[in-house]
Structure 1
Amino acid sequence: MSDRMPALDAVHGMLTLLFAVVALHVSWHAVRSPGAGRRARVDLVLHCAMAAAMAAMPWSSGPPLAGRATTVFFTAAALWFLLTPHRAAVFADRLTPAVGMAAMAWMSRTPSGAVSVSASAQEAVTAAGLPAAHHTTAHGHTGDASTAAILVTAVLTVYLLGCALRSLTRPMPALRTATDPAHRAAATDPCGHVRDGAMALGTAVMLLLPH
């Protein structure tokens, strides 16, 4: 970790503090809601797990916070939020945490391993004396994969930034008297909306940082 730039360490430190506060708030909310239903309890556990993982991720250089197990876990968590709602209005609210979980799964993947395998394959091709055109093709595939990764990261980031803006502005005092039911409902749980907005904002920032 000594080779990191101090500015990047400072950003990681602020993100860790943010995610730790979110994890504590989710835990506190779970304690205050002992009679919550099964779906609500699973939601809280997944939110807490994601916040805790995100708090530790900047300081982890390998498993268990990066790798196939983490990717599978958060992919399953994203599917949980997508597949469990019963109404369209609920689905819209659960889409944000689903995308957040998907972003966590995306960040925990290990594309560097694929690059290493590709490099080894190219060395084997060279040793076998096959035409150099194969190398060009391999580099082309790597470039396509990199472009696709940038596109996915950009889409996730833009969506999460939009969600963060929506969640952070909904409970504003000036909007609580609005006729929009969403703004009226936000007045009943302003801390929850601020927490969700901060989580989405922090996740968007994490997507843009080197891992």
Structure 2
Amino acid sequence: MNFAIGVFDLFAYTIPGALYVALFGYLGTKLHIITAASIGGVPTVVLVVVIVVLSFLLGYLAYPLGEAMERIVPRRRQRNAAEDFVRRTPAAKDRAFLKENPHLLLCALQLQDKEVAVDVARLRASGLMVRNCAPPLLFGAVAAIVEIFAGKHPFIAAGVAVLLLLASVTLVSQGRKLGLWAGMKTFELCFWLPEIDEKLATVNASHKSA
């Protein structure tokens, strides 16, 4: 039986999940639930497989936390990929594909040429990874704040708390930026596919007639 994790799964779920595993491991160590003796007898291969599977599952289960944090963190300004693309490429302002959802256009690109669509998928996956890494860092900041009062090094804990909090907010902002870039890249690639407007016109016409 082969077990494979795709690039999208690795970026969007497994890497953020690994941060949750690290956080829970830290908390388990501090609470003496996890000790070197308890994991010392576990074979390395089994331990690696368990960590990878747990990372994926935790990343998948905690995915809504990333969405929630993106809604909560204020935006400095509203940006629209289609509007930014038209501003940079005025010749495309009357093209039909600009009115469609970028996710639908990505599917069209994948049907047209999977290799061309890889860059868009990579940007989307990277944006989700960065955004979904924000919540565990925020929880880490909370743990560091607790360490200020319960630990032996309050000043170090305070510094770590500030860094983790800033990193968490910054990751949400960077995730939004990567998502915008993914949308921009989608429109840029569709610009060079004249037949896409004809296909969209045919689909819209059939939809209206139905």
Q: Give the TM-score range, shorter chain.
A: 0.3 to 0.5
Which TM-score applies when normalising by structure 2? 0.33
Larger RCO (alpha carbons 8 Å, 6+ apart): 2
